[in-house]
Structure 1
């Protein structure tokens, strides 16, 4: 059975044939077979080539698991956490802080504006914080945030950083060496199926994680520090998904990170050039749009466009979220879909529908 539908969504992304084939292989029992632990250690070593020197753990759960786990593992009741936000996921970190009985101090900015550096600095000078959260790529708006100035301020005040890089890691340079916990996911730029969270953890973050016991099992990062070396997992791991991610990472590393980044830049540039020809602009502005996703302003009717593109052209796009639900049409040119021919097919269809 063939499926000619083109899914140009900002995650989950198209899964290459090699990844699908790898997932169909017989899978061992991940709890008792030593070869599987060796495979897991090899996979985390490959991810370290993307992340840098920090320890890497792979959790069995979609990317949101990583956001919740990072907060649940770091934040004790009463801890103060600075949530730096200019979008849905940045603001959403505050919910996880409150679930951990921490105090969330939200330093927000409008969704179409950059992170508010002056407000961040002011907040940090007003009092101490145990951690801070921020988002590199806000997928609902297609905005790529300049997070290094914020990381500078957090370093000055000795605050542990948690960064959601779910929609940028593997497609855009991420300053992972400066981040204490950096979160990614299998279904975005890696182009593997949804189901896995990847995260790097610095020594400083491990020290805080190990300083107290959480009331959670599934969202506790502490057991993952030594799990593979001690040949056990906190729960039965997703063997087939890990096989798929392993092949996806192999494809990425074989191409080379710099080539992958250039491919994403080229795909984004083509998408926005074609959009400009149609009189459409990216929501946060050209300079702040991510190489992995373009959110086009359509001023109402995004859902109707989405439905027509799927019905008449077999192309699946995403609409906005929250207040932008019907005002933004999102095109994901990330991972396997960051290719000019796929962008052109998408924009040809959008042009036909608009005409």
Structure 2
């Protein structure tokens, strides 16, 4: 059965044929076969080429698992956590902090613009914090945050940083060497199926993680530090998904990270040129727009446009989330779909529907 639909959503993204084929290989028993642990060590080594030299862990669960696990592993009852937020996922970190009985202090900024560095500095000057959370690419609004100035300030105050880079890692540069826990996921720029969280953990973060006991198993990062070397996983790993991710990372590294980033930039530029030509404006400030997703203002017609594009043109797009559900149409040009020809097909359809 063929499926001609073009899914230009900001994740999950299209899975290349080579990844699907790899996932069809016989499934080993990841708990008892030594060869599987060697494979896992090799895969985390490949991810180091994207992340840098920090320890890498791959968890069996969709990207949100990583966000919850980072907070659950780093936050003790009573810990103060600065949650930097200029979007839905930044605000959502506060929920995980409260679940861990920590004190979440939300540093809000308008959704259309960048993180508010001045307010971050003000919070840090007036009180101590153990951890700070933030989002690199806010997928619901298409905003890409400049993290370097924020990380500079956090380092000055010895605050452990947690970054959701789920929608940017592998599609645009991420300052992973500056981040204590940097979270990614298989289904975004890597173009593998949903089901895996990838994360890097710094020595400073490991020290904090290992300083107290969490009451969770599935969301505890500590067992993953030595799991592969000790040939023991906290739970049965998702072998077929890991095979798929392995091939997806091979494709990315064979192309070369710089070429991958340039491909994403070209796709984003074409998308926004085509949108402007038919009178559609960007939701975020252009200076903060992400190369992995474009959010367009459509004032109350996003759901209708989404439905018509799917029914009449076999193109699947995403609407906004939360209060923006019907006012923003989102086009994902990330991973395997970050290609100018796919953007052109998408925008041809959008133009036809609007006309």
TM-score of the alignment, normalized to the shorter chain, above 0.5: yes
> Which residue in 2 is equivalent to 1:117?
117
Pairwise mapping of residues 7-46 of structure 1 onto structure 2 (< 5 A)?
7-46=7-46
Query: In structure 2, how many angstroms separate the alpha carbons of the residues matched to 1:223 and 1:115?
Result: 33
Shift in Å at residue 285 of structure 1? 2.2
The residue matched to 2:227 in structure 1 has which SS? coil
Query: In structure 1, how many angstroms separate the alpha carbons of the residues matched to 2:237 and 2:218?
Result: 12
Deviations 1:224-265 (A, max 9, x none): 000000001000000000000000000000000000000000
> Which residue in 1 is equivalent to 2:232?
232
Query: In structure 2, how many angstroms separate the alpha carbons of the residues matched to 1:54 and 1:282?
Result: 36
Task: Normalising by structure 2, report the TM-score.
Answer: 1.00
Q: Are positions 1:152 and 2:152 aligned together? A: yes
Query: In structure 2, how many angstroms separate the alpha carbons of the residues matched to 1:118 and 1:265?
Result: 29
The residue matched to 2:30 in structure 1 has which SS? coil
Pairwise mapping of residues 75-86 of structure 1 onto structure 2 (< 5 A)?
75-86=75-86
> Which residue in 1 is equivalent to 2:188?
188
Shift in Å at residue 113 of structure 1? 1.9
Query: In structure 2, how many angstroms separate the alpha carbons of the residues matched to 1:339 and 1:285?
Result: 23
Q: Are positions 1:97 and 2:97 aligned together? A: yes
Shift in Å at residue 287 of structure 1? 1.4
Shift in Å at residue 282 of structure 1? 1.2
Shift in Å at residue 110 of structure 1? 1.3
Query: In structure 2, how many angstroms separate the alpha carbons of the residues matched to 1:14 and 1:285?
Result: 28
> Which residue in 1 is equivalent to 2:318?
318
Pairwise mapping of residues 61-72 of structure 1 onto structure 2 (< 5 A)?
61-72=61-72
Query: In structure 2, how many angstroms separate the alpha carbons of the residues matched to 1:241 and 1:106?
Result: 35
Query: In structure 2, how many angstroms separate the alpha carbons of the residues matched to 1:16 and 1:259?
Result: 18
Shift in Å at residue 324 of structure 1? 0.3
> Which residue in 1 is equivalent to 2:200?
200
The residue matched to 2:72 in structure 1 has which SS? helix
Give ranges in structure 2 of 5+ residues lacking alignment: none
The residue matched to 1:155 in structure 2 has which SS? helix
Query: In structure 2, how many angstroms separate the alpha carbons of the residues matched to 1:239 and 1:91?
Result: 33
Query: In structure 2, how many angstroms separate the alpha carbons of the residues matched to 1:287 and 1:155?
Result: 26
The residue matched to 1:83 in structure 2 has which SS? strand
Q: Are positions 1:253 and 2:233 aligned together? A: no
CA RMSD of aligned residues (A): 0.4
The residue matched to 2:310 in structure 1 has which SS? helix
Shift in Å at residue 27 of structure 1? 1.3
Deviations 1:279-313 (A, max 9, x none): 11111022111000000001111000000000000
The residue matched to 1:228 in structure 2 has which SS? helix
Query: In structure 2, how many angstroms separate the alpha carbons of the residues matched to 1:172 and 1:188?
Result: 12
> Which residue in 1 is equivalent to 2:136?
136
Shift in Å at residue 147 of structure 1? 1.1
Query: In structure 1, how many angstroms separate the alpha carbons of the residues matched to 2:176 and 2:129?
Result: 21
Q: Are positions 1:88 and 2:88 aligned together? A: yes
The residue matched to 1:229 in structure 2 has which SS? helix
Shift in Å at residue 114 of structure 1? 1.3
Shift in Å at residue 125 of structure 1? 0.5
Query: In structure 1, how many angstroms separate the alpha carbons of the residues matched to 2:186 and 2:51?
Result: 14
Moved over 4 A (4+): none
CA contact (8 A) 2:91 2:106 kept: yes
Query: In structure 2, how many angstroms separate the alpha carbons of the residues matched to 1:281 and 1:18?
Result: 36
Length, aligned pairs only:
355
Query: In structure 1, how many angstroms separate the alpha carbons of the residues matched to 2:176 and 2:147?
Result: 11
CA contact (8 A) 2:113 2:285 kept: no
